[in-house]
């Protein structure tokens, strides 16, 4: 899985982003639903308002038409011409919904409603008490100009857009409030680490210097083993210390980019970690071609150290750690516990640790990613649980 | 003489066939209503005004023909006082329905308006 470029370690963690994205998705969906419901309510109220206005007019027309029907009823069948009016079209239906006569353009009538809009026309259904000409239902039809609809849509889109904008700004403010406790705790942790780092330097240097100075030839075998263990522990702490120092103090330092012979550097760092690998009876497989890269040596060392350190730390006893170097590509692989594919995108987050059995603060890979991003070096993680992991760097 | 008898026979047959040609409505309704001042057409409009639909009107009329009482007559008080209530029908249900169908089709408003 190719891990995308990010500066997340300094701004937002992936887990923070995920929480923020979930919150915003939910919030946006809620805002859209609320605006839609309000729009619907507004549209319906506008429709009702228009129909209420039409109802008053059509009731008057219905009264006039009923009078005409009454006259026609009394003179039927000397007179058989149905009364017409230029202001509206009408139809008459009997008690059994049988059409007696109709001038309507739209014959789709809803007898259960008093007034409604139907395909560009407004129908008004008047129920008569006296069935002139057998008429129970008098239906009046006028065209629906649709002007109210255009006006309503204009208002919905206009006000809806501003409401959406307002809610979005409010949502961002809420999101900041929502993330504040999480961010505060990270800041607190950063400050704590920065403070403690200063205190680690002197004792750690003293331990490592004294280990180097000890004369192993005069030691008994039992003490040699003990010294080796102290050496391993000290180097593990040293890597952690260097990470913390880098993170808190050196990160902001200016880069001193130079052309580095990677092969030499790897040999040097492999030798440094050899004692750790031996403690787990790991086999080392180095397949190194000559290759160079222009980068700050200090930073590239942090990358190599962390990747090798992880390959050793999360390996199985009697496993293998391998390094393949080609021009433009570096692969560090192991036969360790691997990592679930779903967790790969989060493994570069600061303080992210998937295996609690091993020590550490979860800083190493965050630093690696930070440096690789800075130098536009891509990192591809291929991992199978219980089989191993391959970290492929390309530049 | 033979000729006269022949003509008389033919006339008799024509008269009988004409009587046979009269439908239920003509035979049992029109004859009695001839005597009344209100035409069957006007009465139809009265019924239509009250019942407002074919099935409703036919059912109402059928009931009235079988059980004629003043309270359910659609005619005016003046008309009833002058001419009274009709006698209870002696027609069968089938004959009443047939007569009513003819009555409806003859005077119905549907299809007559322009």
Give me the residues of chain B with pLDDT under 70, please.
1-22
Reduced to 3 states (helix: H, G, I; strand: E, B; else coil), residue A188 is helix
B41/A77 Cβ within 8 A: yes
B59 touches chain A (CB under 8 A): no
The model's pLDDT over A273-320, given as tens digits with 9 standing for 90+, comes to 888 888 888 888 889 989 999 998 888 988 998 899 889 888 888 899
B114/A80 Cβ within 8 A: yes
Residues of chain A found within 8 Å of residue B104, distances taken between Cβ atoms: none
**Cα of A288 vs its chain's centroid, Å:** 40
B45/A76 Cβ within 8 A: yes
Given a cut of 50, whether residue A230 has pLDDT beyond it is yes
Of 3.40.50.1460, 3.30.565.10, 3.40.50.800, 3.30.70.3340, which CATH number belongs to A257-394? 3.30.565.10
Q: Do the domain assignments include residue B44?
A: yes
A73/B50 Cβ within 8 A: no
The tally of domains found in chain B comes to 1
Reduced to 3 states (helix: H, G, I; strand: E, B; else coil), residue A388 is strand
Q: Do the domain assignments include residue B78?
A: yes
A77 cis-preceded (ω within 30 degrees of 0): yes
The model's pLDDT over A181-211, given as tens digits with 9 standing for 90+, comes to 877 887 887 778 777 777 777 788 888 888 8
Q: Residue A10: its pLDDT value, please?
A: 46
Run of H or E residues at A394: strand A388-394
B113/A82 Cβ within 8 A: yes
- Percent of all residues in chain A with a pLDDT value above 90, rounded to a whole number: 38
Residues in a beta bridge with A260:
A293
Q: What is the ipTM of this complex?
A: 0.77
Per-domain boundaries in chain A: 7-190, 257-394
Q: Which of B96, B109, B84 is nearest to A77 (CA)?
A: B109
Give me A332's structure tokens.
Answer: 């560090």
More confident: B47 or A348? B47
Whose tokens are 């080392």? That residue is A284
Nearest Cβ partner of A134 from B41, B52, B114? B52
- Which range is least confidently modeled, A154-168, A226-240, B96-110? A226-240
Residues of chain B found within 8 Å of residue A133, distances taken between Cβ atoms: 48, 109, 113
B72 touches chain A (CB under 8 A): no
Residue B67's Cβ-count burial label (10 Å; 0-12, 13-18, 19+) is exposed
Q: Which of A380, A383, A384, A349 is nearest to A367 (CA)?
A: A349
Given a cut of 90, whether residue A333 has pLDDT beyond it is yes
Contact map slice: A 17-76 vs B, CB within 8 A: 73-74, 76
Q: Which of A112, A119, A47, A124 is nearest to A87 (CA)?
A: A124
Q: How far apart are CA A348 and CA A4, in angstroms?
A: 10
Run of H or E residues at A153: helix A147-213
Reduced to 3 states (helix: H, G, I; strand: E, B; else coil), residue A244 is helix
Q: Residue B82: its pLDDT value, please?
A: 86
A135 touches chain B (CB under 8 A): yes
Report yes or no: A202 and A253 within 8 Å, Cβ to Cβ: no
Residues of chain B found within 8 Å of residue A96, distances taken between Cβ atoms: 53-56
Q: Do the domain assignments include residue B103?
A: yes
Domain range for B39 is: 23-107
Given a cut of 80, whether residue A36 has pLDDT beyond it is yes
- Which range is least confidently modeled, A48-57, A121-130, A171-180? A171-180
């Amino acid at each position: 899985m190719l891990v995308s470029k990010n500066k997340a370690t300094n701004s937002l963690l992936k887990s923070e982003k995920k929480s923020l994205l979930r919150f915003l998705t939910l919030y946006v969906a809620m805002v859209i639903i609320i605006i839609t419901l309000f729009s619907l309510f507004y549209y319906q109220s506008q429709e009702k308002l228009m129909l209420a206005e039409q109802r008053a007019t059509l009731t008057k027309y219905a009264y006039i038409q009923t009078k005409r029907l009454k006259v026609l009823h009394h003179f039927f069948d000397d007179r058989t011409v149905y009364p017409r009016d230029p202001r509206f079209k009408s139809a008459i239906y009997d008690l059994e919904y049988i059409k007696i006569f109709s001038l309507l353009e739209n014959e789709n009538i809803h007898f259960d409603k008093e007034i409604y809009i139907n395909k560009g026309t407004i129908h008004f259904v008047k129920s008569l008490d006296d069935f002139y000409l057998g008429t129970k239902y008098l239906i009046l039809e006028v065209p629906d100009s649709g002007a109210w609809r255009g006006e309503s849509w204009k208002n919905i889109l206009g006000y809806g857009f501003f409401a959406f904008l307002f809610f979005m700004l409010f949502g961002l403010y809420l999101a900041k409030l929502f993330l504040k406790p999480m961010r505060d705790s990270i800041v607190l942790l950063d400050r704590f680490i920065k403070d403690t780092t200063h205190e680690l330097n002197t004792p750690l240097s003293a331990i490592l210097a004294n280990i180097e100075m000890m004369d192993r030839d005069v030691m008994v075998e039992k003490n040699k083993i003990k010294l080796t263990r102290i050496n391993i522990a000290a180097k593990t702490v040293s890597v952690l210390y260097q990470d913390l120092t880098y993170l808190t103090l050196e990160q902001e330092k200016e880069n001193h980019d130079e052309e580095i012979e990677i092969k030499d550097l790897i040999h040097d760092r492999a030798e440094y970690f050899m004692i750790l690998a031996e403690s787990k009876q790991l086999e080392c497989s180095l397949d190194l071609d000559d290759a160079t890269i222009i980068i700050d040596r200090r930073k590239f060392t942090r990358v190599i150290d962390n990747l090798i350190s992880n390959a050793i730390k999360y390996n199985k006893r009697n496993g293998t750690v391998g390094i393949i170097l080609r021009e433009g590509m570096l692969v560090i692989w192991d036969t360790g516990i691997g990592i679930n594919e779903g967790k790969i995108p989060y493994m570069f987050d600061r303080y992210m640790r998937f295996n609690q059995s091993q020590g550490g603060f979860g800083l190493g890979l965050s630093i690696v990613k930070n440096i690789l991003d800075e130098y536009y070096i891509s990192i591809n993680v291929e991992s199978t649980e219980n089989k191993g992991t391959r970290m492929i760097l390309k530049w | 003489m033979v000729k006269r008898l022949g003509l008389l026979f033919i006339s008799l047959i024509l008269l009988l066939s004409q009587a046979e040609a009269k439908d239920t409505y003509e035979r049992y309704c029109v004859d009695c209503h001839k005597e009344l001042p209100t035409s069957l057409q006007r009465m139809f409009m009265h019924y239509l005004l009250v019942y407002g639909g074919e099935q409703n009107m036919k059912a109402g009329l059928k009931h009235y023909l079988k059980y004629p009482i003043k309270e359910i007559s659609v005619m005016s008080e003046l008309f009833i006082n002058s001419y009274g209530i009709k006698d209870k029908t002696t027609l069968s249900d089938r004959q009443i329905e047939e007569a009513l169908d003819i009555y409806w089709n003859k005077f119905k408003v549907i299809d007559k308006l322009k």
